[in-house]
Amino acid sequence: MRETLSESMSVTVQGVCEMMNGIWSRHVGLIAVVSGLIGATIYLLMISVTLAHIEAVSGQIPFDMRPFGYGPAEAVALLDALGAEGRDYYLSHQVPLDTLYPAMLALTLIATMSWSGRRLPNNNLIRLGIVISVGVALFDYGENLGIMGMIWCWPDLPAPLVHAASAASIAKSLLTTMAVLLALLILFVRARQSKADSRP
């Protein structure tokens, strides 16, 4: 009975995976466009509304916009300048938006690379791009957790927490740059290949 149940579950899981792969293959271009539009909308909202408000209230650059990181003194200065209302705004407005954004960015990058690299003879670039794109999202979520932790710990700000959040910010920025450049490289290689294929 157990073997039958296990075999049945295995077949079901395999069927779901095949169905998801079929949907992904047929609609990867649409997924790239839709997730890209959602991600761009969230990004514009953050830049023009939430992050702009945080910068206006504190007179300082928010944690999310510091690609080279920050130290304990800079973190204290920002959190102190925000005040209680500003820190609450960070948690209630910026963090929720930045919870959706990393997933949309990673999905956009992965779908774009998968769609662009369909006919490439070597899939290693795409595999590398997918790994880096997932890393972008993970470090962005790590940064968010660090920011939340710093706000919750305020005013007793542990230096290791600041360093961990800063390291996540740096890694996120570096990996984002790498993923975007890799997506552009895959698009360029595909365009060259298409041009070569179209020659008589």
The answer to whether residue 6 sits within a structural domain is no
pLDDT at 200 > cutoff 80: no
**Residues 35-78: tens digit of each pLDDT:** 999 999 999 999 999 999 999 999 999 999 999 999 999 999 99
C-alpha dihedral sign at 79, 95, 84, 58: positive
pLDDT over 90, % of the chain: 64
The answer to whether residue 24 sits within a structural domain is no
Please provide the average confidence, as pLDDT, over all residues in the chain.
86
The answer to whether residue 39 sits within a structural domain is yes
pLDDT at 19 > cutoff 70: no
Overall average pLDDT of the 164-168 stretch: 97
The answer to whether residue 7 sits within a structural domain is no
The answer to whether residue 103 sits within a structural domain is yes
The answer to whether residue 9 sits within a structural domain is no
Give the pLDDT confidence score for residue 10 in this predicted structure.
54
The answer to whether residue 178 sits within a structural domain is yes
* 23 or 129, which is more confident: 129
Instruction: Please state, in angstroms and rounded to a whole number, the distance separating the CA atoms of residues 188 and 184.
Output: 6
The answer to whether residue 90 sits within a structural domain is yes
Per the structure, the count of domains in the chain is: 1
Tokens of 128: 């590398």
Overall average pLDDT of the 160-168 stretch: 97
Q: Quote the domain boundaries for residue 101.
A: 29-198
Give the pLDDT confidence score for residue 174 in this predicted structure.
97
What lies within 8 Å, CB to CB, of 167 at 6+ separation is 69
What lies within 8 Å, CB to CB, of 88 at 6+ separation is none
- Residue 14 binned pLDDT confidence (cut-offs 50, 70, 90): low
**Residues 90-103: tens digit of each pLDDT:** 999 999 999 999 99
What lies within 8 Å, CB to CB, of 80 at 6+ separation is 155
User: Helices (H), strands (E): how many in the chain?
Assistant: 6, 0
